Amino acid sequence: MKRTKRTRSMSAAVWLSLAAAAGLSACGGEKGQLMVVFQTDMSLPKDIDTVRIEATLDGSVVYDETFERLGSDGSIRLPATLGFLTPDEPSQALRVRVIASRGGKDGVRLLREVLTTVPEGRTATLHMPIQFLCDGSAEVERDAQGNALRDADGNVLVKNSCPEGQSCVAGSCVPREVDSRELPDYEAVAVFGGGSGDGDGLCFDTLRCFAAAASAPVDLEAFAADGTVCRAAAPSGDVNVALLTQGGGICGESACFVPLDAESDAGFRVEEGNVLRLPVEVCRRAQSGKLAGLAIVAAGEGKCRRKGTDLPTCGPWSALQGGESTVPDASAPVPVAVAQVHPVSLQVAAGGVTWIAGATFDGEGMAQEDGELKTAPVDGGEPLILGATQASPRDLAIDEARQVAFWTNAEDGTLRVVPLAGGEPRVLLADLEQPEGLALSGGALSWTELWGGGVFRAQLSGSGAEVELGAPEELTPTGTAFSSPYRVASAGDTVCWTYQGTLGRTDGAVACRVGEASVTIAAEQLTPREIALDVDGEGNAAAVYWASFEGGSVFRADLSGAEVGAPEEIASDQGQLNGLAVDEGHVYWTRRDAGTVVRMPKGGGEQEVLASGQARPGDIAVDEATVYWINEGSPDGSDGAPVKDGAVLKRAK
């Protein structure tokens, strides 16, 4: 097969002579061309970091290339074009497949497939965009043991979520056959932002263009009446429209956008009466709570003119004008996920951030089964729901070795497990008395039961999704009078926990199980909730830190000696302390009342505000280079509906 390409970026056409590729003679009538255009509405490499493009002619492979490290130097730039010349037998079927992945080529996210022919006597344009609304339209085929199936060349086999003969477009399954006679003629200006394809065209600066956008809902009432139509109201005049996502697309400091193409069936059309007609998948996702709504703004000029398929997005992945675009302030927190409902806890492990979106409450104050366990890569992206319809989930733990997540459900009294890659959640223990805190170390799970007053530990066995839990061992000190055990932390053979006691009273306490003995570390505490362990290089607990939610103080007790050290107050007057974490040099906490994220040296010293203006910041976690925290967001509205302004955020240390 003969092929030439100017650069690996594919910003100009890669021309394939299909006659030569199929072993046919090059003689015949006037040749035509099919220019396949690849574009995306997502952010690379956050959402997609690998693309494989495969083309076959009557079943014979004529092109197969994988592009990795998207959005970085030396890789593909978008828009990209791939040109095919008419074969000597023009009726031969050309099949083109685009497989997009995240986390490497085995992390398949979506598949777009077209079956067509190459026209004669003209150059036609075939758009095959990598679309957010099709994210999740494909996955890796696996055997009964969960191992990926591969072809003779080692590529994973891909399972299409659409029925045979169909492929995903804008979130819906449509026939993959495309009549090339109906395709428009190719014009470079209609692909490369008015340019020639040499980087001279305009791109759409998403964050700048939507900086003053208004948020608008889709009409879910009309969608419920007719599931084939998705609409929303729009102001008069030319507008730009974007989906407000939970983490997919191009993210600013407080929102993530997927811009839609105007006057496109895969984007939006403006109908009579200033009504936006949208792909039905937009309403499906909004109905299921996966979208926060729409961002709508008046179209401007230049990089903010009305967006169409002729105006690709700006970014590090862009083939136009160097990809220069508006980016968030480098000193500001960066969202991992936005538009969340009351997140309550998080963990950072296994290359991802996993958190719990808390349940809402009905008119009688009872928790509803609408809590969720979610995960996303540390760089952000649309979250994967690991556990849906949960009964007031409260805390979680990640087992990196087994690649599973555990969590407590307070309302139904269960402790559950699910694979981090996704799957069916499973109950490990039931009939618990409002399980609250959860921690993992040394192959054992430890948890608290708020109503029952007990603290327990049990050994894990098995691997992966088949993990099992042994008989629970109670850790509560003999004869204790403390109530309402809340959060728990563990390292090595040490488990420590807080008793929050009664709100407004100094009847809380902190206790630890060190080796075989359970001891009270501190009594007469004012609502101690959050707790964290300082862990040494051998994985053993060197000190325990805890925070008083109502008392506004941070305390420390040494655990490295033969006996437990006396409690030390290392910070005071901190208002409502709502999260606590420790690393090799600092202790970190969040102030719910002041909306700040704070750190100070572990032994005491000057405090540093890492972030301010946060919406009720809560649980916090750290890794080697980054601080992560949740914003619980606003309380439910006056009508009881949840306000989706919670978030998972991060910033460099």
532 plus 567 within the same structural domain? yes
- 29: number of CA atoms within 13 Å, CB side? 8
What pLDDT, in 10s, does the model give residues 228-252? 999 999 999 999 999 999 999 999 9
The pLDDT of residue 25 is above 70 = no
In a domain, 200, yes or no: no
295 plus 402 within the same structural domain? no
Strand partners, 558: 543
Whole-number percent of the chain with pLDDT over 90: 80
Question: What pLDDT does 10 receive?
Answer: 42
218 plus 179 within the same structural domain? no
Return the CATH number at 485. 2.120.10.30
The H-assigned helical ranges of 371-467 are: none
**3-state DSSP of 201-225:** CCCECHHHHCCCCEEECCCHHHHHH
412 plus 509 within the same structural domain? yes
By DSSP bridging, strand 568-571 and strand 214-216 are: unpaired
478 plus 424 within the same structural domain? yes
The pLDDT of residue 254 is above 70 = yes
In angstroms, rounded to a whole number, what is the distance separating the alpha carbons of residues 609 and 651? Answer: 12
Name the residue type at position 56: T
- 100: number of CA atoms within 13 Å, CB side? 30
Question: What pLDDT does 18 receive?
Answer: 46
Question: What pLDDT does 85 receive?
Answer: 93
Q: What is the mean pLDDT of the chain?
A: 91
What pLDDT, in 10s, does the model give residues 290-331? 999 999 999 999 999 999 999 999 999 999 877 789 998 878
Count up the domains in the chain and report the number.
3
Question: What pLDDT does 331 receive?
Answer: 81
SS3 20: helix
Among 133-137, 142-146, 460-464, top mean pLDDT goes to: 133-137
What pLDDT, in 10s, does the model give residues 444-466? 999 999 999 999 999 999 987 78
The H-assigned helical ranges of 525-604 are: none
179 plus 249 within the same structural domain? no
Question: What pLDDT does 366 receive?
Answer: 73
DSSP state of 480: -
220 plus 357 within the same structural domain? no
pLDDT band at 26 (very low <50, low <70, confident <90, very high): very low
In angstroms, rounded to a whole number, what is the distance separating the alpha carbons of residues 450 and 436? Answer: 6
Question: What pLDDT does 7 receive?
Answer: 31
Burial bucket for residue 322 (CB in 10 Å: 0-12, 13-18, 19+) = exposed
In angstroms, rounded to a whole number, what is the distance separating the alpha carbons of residues 162 and 113? Answer: 11
User: Could you list the residue range(s) of the whole structural domain that residue 259 is in?
Assistant: 206-323
The pLDDT of residue 614 is above 50 = yes
Closest residue by Cα to residue 48 from 147, 158, 131: 131
96 plus 232 within the same structural domain? no
In a domain, 201, yes or no: no
Considering only 69-73, 136-140, 332-336, 578-582, which range has the smallest mean pLDDT? 69-73
Q: Which residues contact 597 (CB under 8 A, 6 or more apart)?
A: 588, 589, 590, 591, 609, 610, 611, 612, 614, 617, 620, 627, 629, 651
Question: Which of 295, 323, 351 is a domain's end point?
Answer: 323
SS3 378: coil
DSSP state of 307: P
**Structure-block tokens of residue 382:** 């649309």
349 plus 438 within the same structural domain? yes
The pLDDT of residue 56 is above 80 = yes
175 plus 212 within the same structural domain? no
- Contact between 357 and 343 (Cβ < 8 Å): yes
The pLDDT of residue 5 is above 50 = no
In a domain, 609, yes or no: yes
SS3 50: strand
Q: pLDDT: is 31 or 415 the higher one?
A: 415
Strand partners, 531: 546
Report the pLDDT averaged over residues 590-598.
Answer: 97
In a domain, 46, yes or no: yes
- Contact between 314 and 360 (Cβ < 8 Å): no
pLDDT band at 72 (very low <50, low <70, confident <90, very high): confident
Instruction: Give one DSSP letter per residue of 87-147, joined into a string.
Output: PSSTTSPEEEEEEEESSSTTSEEEEEEEEE-PPSSSEEEEE--B-GGGTTSEEE-B-TTSP
User: What b/e string do you get for 201-224 counting C-beta neighbours within 10 Å, with b at 16 or more?
Assistant: bbbbbbbbbbeebeebebbeeebe
In a domain, 328, yes or no: no
Question: Which of 186, 215, 242 is a domain's end point?
Answer: 186
In a domain, 381, yes or no: yes
300 plus 366 within the same structural domain? no
Name the residue type at position 554: V
In angstroms, rounded to a whole number, what is the distance separating the alpha carbons of residues 253 and 647? Answer: 11
The pLDDT of residue 561 is above 90 = no
Among 20-34, 60-74, 438-452, top mean pLDDT goes to: 438-452
C-beta neighbour count of 123 within 10 angstroms: 18
Report the pLDDT averaged over residues 498-510.
Answer: 95
The pLDDT of residue 22 is above 60 = no
SS3 207: helix
Question: What pLDDT does 640 receive?
Answer: 65
279 plus 359 within the same structural domain? no
In a domain, 199, yes or no: no
In angstroms, rounded to a whole number, what is the distance separating the alpha carbons of residues 24 and 90? Answer: 12
- DSSP H or E run through 62: strand 60-67
Q: pLDDT: is 37 or 142 the higher one?
A: 37
In angstroms, rounded to a whole number, what is the distance separating the alpha carbons of residues 164 and 179? Answer: 18
Q: Hey, what's the torsion of the CAs at 89, 90, 93, 98, to 10 degrees?
A: 120
Question: What pLDDT does 13 receive?
Answer: 40
Question: What pLDDT does 12 receive?
Answer: 36
In a domain, 45, yes or no: yes
